[in-house]
Chains A and B, each alone.
Chain A
Amino acid sequence: MNLIGFILLTLLSVGSAVMVIQRRNPVESALALAVNLISIAGFYLLLNAQFIALLQVIVYAGAIMVLVLFVIMLLNLPEDPRESRSGFFQLWLAVGFTATFAVILRNAIRGQLADATFAAPTAGFGTVSVLGHELFSRFFYPFEVISLLLVVAMVGSVLLAKRRL
């Protein structure tokens, strides 16, 4: 059951990821990215992380992608008519890097994960209360630093935008 779900989600996420970079139309790309983000939420569900999965949908698919779509539509971006512009050098470099990455990935999976065993999830794993306790006890400082980072980014962008107004 989990394996079938995993295969379906993998097909969905890889397929939509390919769509994101392959589509000429920016709105189609954005919608494919939304599908991709939702399929990643599906992976979280398979990993028993229900809360994270729901947050993934709310934050990424529900808020960020809607804003991205909003901007694309507001600017009314035209379909990108250009044909493939990548030259000979670029093409072969891409092939080379992809091959290198594939080898690294293969070795990593073979070397590290071949006979690794994973601890079974503890009781209540992935539920809101357990995650909340972890966030506000073990990971308290990283959590607060990240929220500070977000505030800094927000204040910075407001400052930049206001200067030009």
Chain B
Amino acid sequence: MFDWIRDWVLLNPPMLAFVKVITVVGVLMTSVAVTTWVERRLSAIIQFRLGPNRVGPAGLLQPLADGIKFLMKEDIIPDAAHRPIFILAPALAMITSICAFGVVPFGPTVEILGVTVHLVILDLDGGILFALAATSLGVYGIVCAGWASRNKYSLLGGLRSSAQMVSYELALALSLIGVLLVSGTLRPTEIVEQQAGWFWNWNVFGGWQFVGFLIFLIAAYAETNRLPFDLPEAESELVAGYHTEYSAMKFSMFFMAEYIAMITASSLAVTLFLGGYQLGIPLAIEGPLLWIIQVGAFVAKVGFFMFLFVWVRWTLPRFRYDQLMDIGWKRLFPLALANLAATAVLVAMDVIRR
């Protein structure tokens, strides 16, 4: 009965890749919807409000209602806007943030109907670099949006975003190199496999990468334009920043791109520093049950970081722009360099072993 699935899907690489992509994008989109609900409810709790609780049980269908609203709304393109780039920008923002997720292993190598399947879309030799490349292209969506709107607030938002992302990408990449030195590979699946066993094997503990982990986390907040680094859309200064002129689904696409970028940043942090899908406690079970537990562990860890994103956003005030640049260049960058040098020495002295 399942023969056709095996022959047509599992043993057919393009079809298998297609199925994986559809599944992952579907799960990502659903997670975005759930995250918006969680964010609104959590922010309400933090501020002693109730938040959306009318549509569906506990307001869970609110994202669906919002989605319908965004699709039905009038889509306004300003007369002065540069039409092709104005339309292209939200798509660029979304595509790049989805692409980066492609190299994240969200589960172990499993066997379905006797066929070995890797639970990752792209098992690349330079997978970490692929994620970096995709996130570094993400800035184009925002910059194009800011420029194509022909609005000075949008332009300022786009400018801020490009300066901020280029600055923090340095610290981000340098904090990653510490992990790469420890693991000796750029392939995410291998990095996760090395962190098997007890949780003290995770790179953040066993690889002595706690400083690198903190730098990565801070830089990831800046890369995803989230508070306390959301200067590109600072509403008290720039109306709404780069998406001031966007309405309806195009605005929503920027919104989704931001949330997908958050999910990708969280899953990269989990993959590189916190053992990816490894549970952290060696279990005496094998087979499908273990696989499900491991995928669950991955989802739980990413979920925790998403919670952290929301928590930080509604707790911390925004930095001033000069403070932002100061933190990026004068604090994080030297700290990341020092971390890299220290890691290199420790690896060379065989203190950290893999």
Contact = CB atoms under 8 A, between A and B. Distances in A.
B143 A50 contact: no
Interface string B110-150: 00000000000000111001101100110110011011000
Contacts of B159: 70, 73-74
Interface string A28-46: 1001001000100000000
B165 interface: yes
Contacts of A61: 133, 136-137
B155 A58 contact: no
A69 B85 CA distance: 14
B147 A62 contact: no
B139 A57 contact: no
Interface in A53-80: 54-55, 57-58, 61-63, 66-67, 69-70, 73-74, 76
B199 to A, nearest CB: 28
B212 interface: no
B125 A63 contact: no
A58 B143 contact: no
- In terms of DSSP, what is the predominant structure of the interface of chain B? helix
A62 B130 CA distance: 12
Contacts of A58: 129, 132-133, 136
Contacts of A55: 129
B258 interface: no
B240 to A, nearest CB: 18
A47 interface: no
A130 to B, nearest CB: 10
A57 B136 CA distance: 8
Given A31-B85, A61-B137, A66-B165, A50 B126 contact: yes
A51 B143 CA distance: 27
Nearest to A34: B140
A128 interface: yes
Interface of A: 25, 27-28, 31, 34, 38, 50-51, 54-55, 57-58, 61-63, 66-67, 69-70, 73-74, 76, 127-128
Given A31-B85, A66-B162, 18 more contacts: A25-B82, A27-B147, A34-B140, A51-B125, A55-B129, A57-B133, A58-B129, A61-B133, A62-B133, A63-B136, A69-B143, A69-B147, A70-B143, A70-B162, A73-B143, A73-B147, A73-B155, A128-B185
